[in-house]
């Protein structure tokens, strides 16, 4: 099915006006996050893969056009949309890159109607997936290499497509598996699963349930021990593990109660039975703060299923993301709305050691030691290189997290770096803002005094 109508109506009404007036010159839009969620010190960029796939394929089919005709879109616009394909360029940071507020995740340059029509989809993909990737990265950071993490989010995500994204992004950020079988197949991930309480309840007694599961799935023998009494459940699991020779492959799972205390009790029982290799798996509404507590307490937890709070990004269910016009037909533009002023022109992010980033005009030469983050990923509507393997994005996330200063990576009270405009971008901003404040928009008399300093407004968007 066509995805062309997966957009807000005003994208079409604006594009219609542009088409009627032959306003089809090149336009650059910049997509960024205005502010970080409270307590977060960074973001991990996500969504680029789906954005590029969409841009390569987007087109209006006959059914789309018939519907638009039925809601009053004029014939001239319909004829233009019938032949529309995305023909523009995209600059973007690679997925898995750490970014900060105000830095472009991607920039689109295309004929104005094209660049306008793709706004909704790009914002949706980048906003949700960046939030999920960051949440997953925070969980991995909290686990500190001590607890293996598995994505358990599918039954709680707001839609099945979202579940696929969560599985892929959590793997990108360091999760070792997913319960989502379709995602495991699509992305080459490790499918992971245990049993539900309903399985245990369906049998006459708990031991019979465990023994049946051990016979049927000896290579996936993880026993859910808290249906009735967790410690008694562990003891019954020990009997079954010993009887079936599963000492080196089995695990027990605890899904309720004081998980740290119960994990310690389970470890004691298992060790006393000589089952030191049997792993302890926990689940149940976990997030990065729970994982950090387990690690700090030294709780003997080997793996954890992270679901609801990851899949819906419970503490930051949205990002304050924007997609703003910054250049049209060779003219740099900006808006001056209070608290939402933007920086004009196509841009680049220059990263220095320690994440002392600068936002530059595109084409500015980096200073020694600076690395440009945005890359040309699509030219004339086609990707400039094949899709990046998930493993490459995963390596990037691991490297980025390892280099983040502790004050930025902190789970609470994080201090987020503030990127600064380069002198060239400041000069362009002063010029554009100053012209916008003049009564006629022409060089000359100013309104309200000197042009504002973009660095002084924390809400400035690139």
**Model confidence band, residue 462 (pLDDT cutoffs 50, 70, 90):** low
The pLDDT of residue 311: 97
Per the DSSP assignment, residues forming a β-bridge with 98 are 44
The pLDDT of residue 337: 87
CB burial of residue 156 (10 Å; 0-12, 13-18, 19+): middle
Domain definitions of the chain by residue range = 9-131+331-413
Query: Does residue 429 register a pLDDT over 50?
Result: yes
Query: Does residue 395 register a pLDDT over 80?
Result: yes
The pLDDT of residue 2: 86
Per residue in 40-56, pLDDT (tens digit) is 999 999 999 999 999 99
User: How much is the mean pLDDT over the chain?
Assistant: 94
The pLDDT of residue 135: 98
Pick the CATH number of 9-131+331-413 from 3.40.50.10140, 3.40.50.10800, 3.20.140.10, 1.20.1110.10: 3.20.140.10
The pLDDT of residue 436: 87
The pLDDT of residue 441: 56
Query: Does residue 442 register a pLDDT over 90?
Result: no
Per residue in 335-376, pLDDT (tens digit) is 998 888 999 999 999 999 999 999 999 999 999 999 999 999
Per residue in 269-305, pLDDT (tens digit) is 999 999 999 999 999 999 999 999 999 999 999 999 9
The pLDDT of residue 212: 98
pTM: 0.93
């Amino acid at each position: 099915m066509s995805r062309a109508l997966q957009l807000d109506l005003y994208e079409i009404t604006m594009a219609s006006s542009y088409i009627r007036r032959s306003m089809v010159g090149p336009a650059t839009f910049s997509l960024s996050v205005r502010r970080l969620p409270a307590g977060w010190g960074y973001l991990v960029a996500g969504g680029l893969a789906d954005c590029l796939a969409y841009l390569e394929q987007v087109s209006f089919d006959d059914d789309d056009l018939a519907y638009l005709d039925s809601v009053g879109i004029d014939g001239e616009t319909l004829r233009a949309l019938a032949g529309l394909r995305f023909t523009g360029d995209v600059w973007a940071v690679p997925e898995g890159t750490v970014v900060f507020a105000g830095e472009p995740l991607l920039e689109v340059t295309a004929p104005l109607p094209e660049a306008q029509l793709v706004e909704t989809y790009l914002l949706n993909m980048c906003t949700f997936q960046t939030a999920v990737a960051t949440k997953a990265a925070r969980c991995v950071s909290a686990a500190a290499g001590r607890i293996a993490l598995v994505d358990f989010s599918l039954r709680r995500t707001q839609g099945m497509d979202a579940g696929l994204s969560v599985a892929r992004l959590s793997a990108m950020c360091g999760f070792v598996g997913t319960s989502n079988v379709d995602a495991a197949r699509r992305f080459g991930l490790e499918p992971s699963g245990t049993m539900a309480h309903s399985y245990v309840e369906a049998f006459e007694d708990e031991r019979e349930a465990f023994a049946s599961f051990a016979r049927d799935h000896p290579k996936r023998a993880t026993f859910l021990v808290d249906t009735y009494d967790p410690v008694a459940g562990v003891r019954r699991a020990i009997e079954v593990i010993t009887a079936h020779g599963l000492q080196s492959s089995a695990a027990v799972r605890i899904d309720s109660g004081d998980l740290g205390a119960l994990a310690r009790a389970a470890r004691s029982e298992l060790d006393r039975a000589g089952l030191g290799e049997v792993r302890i798996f926990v689940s149940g509404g976990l997030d990065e703060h729970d994982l950090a507590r387990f690690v700090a307490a030294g709780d003997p937890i080997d793996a954890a299923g992270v679901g609801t709070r990851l899949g819906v990004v419970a503490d930051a269910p949205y990002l304050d993301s924007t997609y703003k016009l910054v250049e049209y037909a060779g003219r740099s533009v900006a808006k001056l709305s209070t608290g939402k002023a933007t920086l004009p022109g196509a841009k680049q992010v220059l990263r220095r050691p320690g994440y002392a980033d600068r936002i530059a005009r595109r084409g500015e030469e980096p200073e020694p030691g600076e690395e440009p983050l945005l890359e040309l990923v699509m030219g004339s509507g086609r990707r400039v290189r094949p899709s990046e393997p998930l493993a490459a994005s995963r390596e990037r996330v691991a490297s980025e997290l390892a280099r983040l200063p502790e004050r930025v990576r902190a789970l609470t009270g994080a201090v987020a770096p503030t990127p600064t405009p380069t002198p060239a971008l400041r000069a362009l901003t002063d010029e554009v803002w100053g012209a916008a404040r003049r009564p006629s928009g022409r060089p000359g008399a100013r309104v309200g005094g000197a042009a504002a300093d973009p660095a002084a407004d924390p809400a400035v968007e690139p």
